[in-house]
Amino acid sequence: MEDTRFTTVADDSEQLLNVVEIDHIDDVETLLMALFGRRFAVIDHLADSTAESAFLEVFIYANDEAVGCTVDFPLSVVQLVRECADIADDLGPYGDDVPATGDVVRIADLDDSALISALHDALGRVRIYNLLEDDDDVVVTELIQEPEHVPYDVPRGTCRSCGSGDVTHILAGMPVYPCPVVDYPEWAHHVGCSYPGYVRECESCGEQWSLNGDDQRFEQFLAELPADTEGQ
């Protein structure tokens, strides 16, 4: 069953908290921190004589600065995250050890399904934090996990057709949270979930191939089909 807590539109913060099943606006703040891996501050503003509708004032922190924005109700959690995602990208990585390049997941690039999955995981971390809140050793910064840095240690290889070393690696699939930061070389290209049918491509001659002989086995399978199956 689809989890609709994050896509349900609420008219104010009280309704939003009830939908997501959290207690305080501080939990929304913690949810954003767990999702983005950076500091947030969220201030709740109710509708009054100076504001026609309720809204949230959100501050998104970089290392040396913070940018604020207002997000009006009606509002869902997914819409709130979308409003914050572009600002977070403009601010750049958070933390001294996070490189400006590498396999860093951009929240703005996630479709709704992947974003809801990430929010589900982040909400679980919020609940754990709340259970341990009275422990003096537990701090919010534990939710902002320093990513593990791992090298891309797959040999580039050579083209099976022309022997050139100008080989591009085609990397398919989506990251699993939490995911490490991999410093990929420029000859490793990500294609998301749109697998093109091959994992290597030669930039010199255009040859494309899979590994472990998958494409050769398929060609052999086609060659061994009985002649009378052609066209069926």
Q: What is the pLDDT of residue 10?
A: 94
Q: Euclidean distance between the first and final Cα of the chain, in Å? A: 39
**Residue-level pLDDT at 19:** 93
The pLDDT value recorded for residue 7 is: 94
Q: What are phi and psi of 121, to 5 degrees?
A: -65, -40
Domain ranges of the chain: 13-143, 149-229
Q: What is the pLDDT of residue 99?
A: 43
* Spatial distance between the Cα atoms of 59 and 44, rounded to a whole number of angstroms: 12
Q: What pLDDT tens digit does each residue of the chain (232 aa) get?
A: 567 899 999 999 999 999 999 989 999 999 999 898 888 889 998 866 566 778 999 998 876 678 888 999 999 999 999 999 988 888 777 665 444 444 446 888 888 899 999 999 889 888 888 777 655 444 445 555 555 677 888 899 999 899 999 999 988 765 544 455 677 888 988 776 677 878 899 999 999 988 765 455 445 555 555 555 444 4
* Residue 183 one-letter amino acid: D
Yes or no: say if 33 and 2 are a contact pair by the CB < 8 Å rule.
no
**What's the confidence (pLDDT) of residue 143?**
52
How far, in Å, CA of 224 to CA of 192, rounded?
34
Tokens describing residue 148: 């593990």
Q: What is the pLDDT of residue 94?
A: 67
pLDDT for res 48: 63
Q: Model's pTM, two decimal places?
A: 0.55
The pLDDT, as a whole number, for residue 39 is: 86
The secondary structure element, H or E, covering residue 126 is helix 112-131
The candidate with the shortest Cα–Cα distance to 115, out of 23, 231, 35, is 35
